[in-house]
Amino acid sequence: MTRKSLIVALVASASLAGCNMAPKYVRPAGAVPATLPQGGVYPAAATDAPDVTKIGWRSFFTDPKLQQVIALGLDNNRDLRVAAANVLQARAQYRVQRADLVPSTTISGSGTYTNNLFGAASTTGAASGSGTGGTGTGGTGTGGATGGTTGGTGTGVGGSVGSSSSSNLQFYSVNAGFSAFELDLFGRVRNLSRAALEQYFASEEAQRSTRISLIAEIATAWLTLASDQDQLRISQDSLKTFQQTLELTQAQFRIGVASELEARQAETNYQAARNDIAALKTRVAQDQNALNLLVGTTVTADLLPASLGNGDATIPTLPAGVSSEVLLRRPDVLQAEHQLIAQNANIGAARAALFPRISLTATLGTISTALSGLFGGGSFTYTGTPSIGVPLFDGGRLRGNLDYAKASQQAAVATYEKTVQTAFREVADALAQRGTIDEQVSAQTARANAAAVAARLSDARYRAGVESFLNTLDTQRTSYTAQQQLVTTRLARGSNLIELYRSLGGGLQ
């Protein structure tokens, strides 16, 4: 191949480098309404709503202990480490695929030493000449001398004894070049590289999604532990009240003032509280185990919650009535979109595989019989070897690969739309609960207070003999249940704010 032909091939490759057979990417639209739900049970729209994704988790979670536990989890959680490793794997795969866009150039040097047996294996040339007063004739031996003299008689040696001789041949060369570099005229290699890049971006978004979910799970587990500790405390306090009532009724039954029915009913409340305490102790231990697993290490006692209280471990409100466009910034939605773009690129690569594939092998080097003459004038050499492969018959393999890429792209579109719809549903559910949860907490608080007062009044009236024992037992059970439900509702409120924060994409900072 001449130098001119090589230059022409490279120029043609560069001129066609913009050819791309991947379909133009258009983000799917219309999978969800333009705005999040409003009106009815949903909270009113906020005109000056801040961007939730810019509210850092340290600002959203206000409890110092919870902040430390979350930070500990971000450092030690194994799922997050797996997600980080997946990012590193995807980045390495992209670098491997991207390397096909440039020639893999190598340089090599060699020296050749050959022992070549050659030489004139001389024969012994013996010539004799005789002459009497005339010209003597001498024989000429190979490699010998002319024998004979003019006049007289003499014997001349016509050759010298030759022996076999040897010589070493030495060649030195240095070469730099590339082998079978594909001239990406139809974008096959570039689309494969783009697909690898998008998969790398998708793995990064998956890591961010894992991070957000982890923060929410740790916070929810921490609040659940606090809630169960409050439930345990309520059961233990109620057990004391039920025990006093049981002892009173048993004493009254022994002296005949109360019936056995009253004593058995009092024992029912007492045993129910005992059962609740045992179950709650188990739940508290399991809550700690779950929290330790999420954090990735043992959470020390000084970082565990003492009580749920009013459930105010987070900021009290989050924006509502925002556009559904905010969902498109969620990491899981971005992950699905990057995977969709990757499938688009795979279609381009599959289409390009149907066209001829041109590759080039080229070297530039120098060769000399002396090491010192490697870079001297006239020692440089070059070679160029273009090749072309045209698919003729492959049993439908290439068409099958193209059909597979198209089907994968359709599946990616559906996955993306489903991811957006799931995100919309999660936010809508969280908003629906947020619109009524404050009223539920208020109602449960008033109910628990009223039930506690009713239980005290009923007990006093019973001791004064103006109230039946059955009413007293009933008010005690009602008060006990109301307190438990108040704790459950407070937990629901805290968990709802965490879920709304997560579903809107908060927690990245």
Residue appearing with tokens 């430390």:
68
Cα angle vertex 172, ends 168, 173, to 5°? Answer: 155
In this structure, what DSSP letter does residue 100 have? G
pLDDT digits (tens, 9 = 90+) for 172-215: 888 888 788 888 888 899 999 999 999 999 999 999 999 999 99
Instruction: State yes or no: pLDDT of 218 exceeds 70.
Output: yes
Q: What mean pLDDT comes out for the span 262-272?
A: 89
For residue 72 the two structure tokens come to: 């500990």
Confidence at residue 185, expressed as pLDDT on a 0 to 100 scale: 86
In this structure, what DSSP letter does residue 158 have? -
Contact of 490 with 227, CB cutoff 8 Å = yes
Q: Rounded to an integer, what distance in angstroms lies between the CA atom of residue 322 and that of residue 231?
A: 36
For residue 391 the two structure tokens come to: 């698919």
The number of C-alpha atoms within 13 Å of 156 and in the hemisphere containing its C-beta is: 21
Give me the CATH code for the 33-101+195-354+396-503 domain, please: 1.20.1600.10
The secondary element (H helix, E strand) that includes residue 387 is strand 380-389
**396-408 CB burial, b ≥16 within 10 A, e <16:** eeeeebbeebbeb
DSSP calls for 475-486: HHHHHHHHHHHH
pLDDT digits (tens, 9 = 90+) for 93-113: 999 988 888 888 888 888 777
Instruction: State yes or no: pLDDT of 159 exceeds 70.
Output: no
Contact of 487 with 308, CB cutoff 8 Å = yes
pLDDT over 90 percentage in the chain: 46
Task: Decide: helix, strand or coil at residue 108.
Answer: strand
Instruction: Give the pLDDT band (50/70/90) at residue 370.
Output: confident
**Among the ranges given (223-227, 284-288, 308-312), the one the predictor scored with the smallest mean pLDDT:** 308-312
**Among the ranges given (253-257, 315-319, 485-489), the one the predictor scored with the smallest mean pLDDT:** 315-319
258 alpha-carbon distance from chain centroid = 70
pLDDT digits (tens, 9 = 90+) for 219-265: 999 999 999 999 999 999 999 989 988 888 888 888 887 788 888 88
Task: Decide: helix, strand or coil at residue 392.
Answer: coil
Kind of pairing between the strands at 106-118 and 357-368:
unpaired
Nearest to 120 by CA among 164, 169, 166, 167: 164
pLDDT digits (tens, 9 = 90+) for 411-470: 999 999 999 999 999 999 999 998 899 999 999 999 999 999 999 998 888 888 788 888
In terms of pTM, does the model score above 0.85? no
Contact of 227 with 308, CB cutoff 8 Å = yes
Q: Indicate the residue type of 213.
A: S
CA–CA distances in Å: residue 192 to residues 103, 353, 368, 406, 410? 16, 11, 42, 15, 18
pLDDT over 70 percentage in the chain: 84
